[in-house]
Structure 1
Amino acid sequence: MKKTFSNILLVVTAFAFFACSDGIDYQKMREAELDLLDEYLAIAHPGAEATPSGLYYFNEPGYGEGDTIKVGDQVQLFYATWALEDTDEGPDSTLVDETSGFLDGHRYEPYLVTVGSGGSITGLEEGLTYMQPGTRSRLVINSELAYGQSGSGYTVGAFQTVLMEVEIYKVIPYNTGSEEEE
């Protein structure tokens, strides 16, 4: 009786696993993303090295001054985001989002991020910690640090790397309360 119950439980578990499977090979999709990312980096940023999490950042020289942005700081920024795609000609990207007018040289309403809050994609929040007020940077954010296997609706697909151009407008430092009040 005990063996029969174990066999039934095994069959039910296996059935539930396969019934929930949607037939999509997520491992293959992730591998394709990483291959495309490697190809893109070899062309656009040869020799680039990732942070331990897998983020690539490229700060423009001549911009940024002051202390590096820290977890807890509020950052007002302008940005544009592209989704990396595989085309017949090789890696390419499609614009999927921007703060109003950023790419046209206009600066209307900045986007507010509290670093470390989880209110934005992980790769952007991490990338900000390598920047200073006034910095311009390009971020290459793989899907683990962006939108993962679910994507972001219609703009970024499952397991799709995003490229961001970011310009820091203003940093509001986090008050740790450790400073003495006068």
Structure 2
Amino acid sequence: MKRFMKYLAIGIVLTGTFYSCLKIDETSVPTRGEEQINLKKYLDDIISRKNDVDTTELGIYYVTMKEGTGAYPKTGDTLTVGYAGYFIDGRLFDTSYWHNQTDSTYTFVLGNPPMIKGWDDGMKVINKNARVQLIIPSDFAYGSAGSGFIQPYQTLVFVIIMKDIKPSN
């Protein structure tokens, strides 16, 4: 038993020493200023590739990748979309495929229940069969609080394909 305790103690000391020497990539919480710098770089990169960046009245940035047809959705309409959500650095954090592997779509009523402000606002500029990239600053997403693995001051990027719009009655 003494021998076991001795090896256990040595193991704990060595593990602690080794762990303290590691450079662990602890992701620091971004600041609003860092978000603004990264967002500007991201938008500048999009523009440098000859893409037009538009904004909604609320201030959501969007790039129309493929024009759609017909009317634009309104609050209360039932929308069916395919989407992928990314952090501004390109890491995927959500996709409609994860929620519905049958046809990779997500169906919801716009504004009921309310989603993040940027999502609800951005949907209103996407008509049927359009493919749009929404760039949602944290003020219109999860803000200074973050949510789960989404850090505070995290700009979110969604690529959305509007599959269907069913007007409310």
When normalised by structure 1's length, the TM-score is 0.67
How far apart are the structure 1 equivalents of 2:70 and 2:55?
24
How far apart are the structure 2 equivalents of 1:149 and 1:64?
34
How far apart are the structure 2 equivalents of 1:74 and 1:141?
22
Q: Provide Cα deviations, 1:21-77, integer angstroms capped at 9, x if missing partner.
A: xxxxx9x8112111110111111235734333220111223x411111112111011
Deviation for aligned residue 1:118 = 4.5
Equivalent residue in structure 2 for 1:169, among 131, 138, 163 = 163
Instruction: Give the match's secondary structure for 2:70.
Output: coil
Q: Is the 8 A contact 2:58 2:121 kept in 1?
A: no
2:147 maps to which residue?
152
Kindly indicate whether residue 121 of structure 2 is the aligned counterpart of residue 126 of structure 1: yes
Distance 1:137 1:107, change over 3 A: farther
Distance 1:36 1:171, change over 3 A: same
When normalised by structure 2's length, the TM-score is 0.72
Q: Is the 8 A contact 2:98 2:104 kept in 1?
A: no
Q: Provide Cα deviations, 1:66-120, integer angstroms capped at 9, x if missing partner.
A: 1111121110111000112xxxxxxx22111111179xxx862421232233432
Which runs of 5 or more structure 1 residues have no equivalent in the other structure? 1-25, 85-91, 176-182
1:113 maps to which residue?
108
Q: Which runs of 4+ in 1 moved over 6 A?
A: none
Q: Is the 8 A contact 2:132 2:161 kept in 1?
A: yes
1:42 maps to which residue?
44
How many residues matched? 137
How far apart are the structure 1 equivalents of 2:124 and 2:156?
18
Which runs of 5 or more structure 2 residues have no equivalent in the other structure? 1-28
How far apart are the structure 2 equivalents of 1:54 and 1:118?
21
Q: Is the 8 A contact 2:77 2:167 kept in 1?
A: yes
1:80 maps to which residue?
84
Kindly indicate whether residue 43 of structure 2 is the aligned counterpart of residue 55 of structure 1: no
Identity over aligned pairs, percent: 28
Letter in 2 for 1:57: Y
Deviation for aligned residue 1:137 = 0.6
Distance 1:48 1:136, change over 3 A: closer
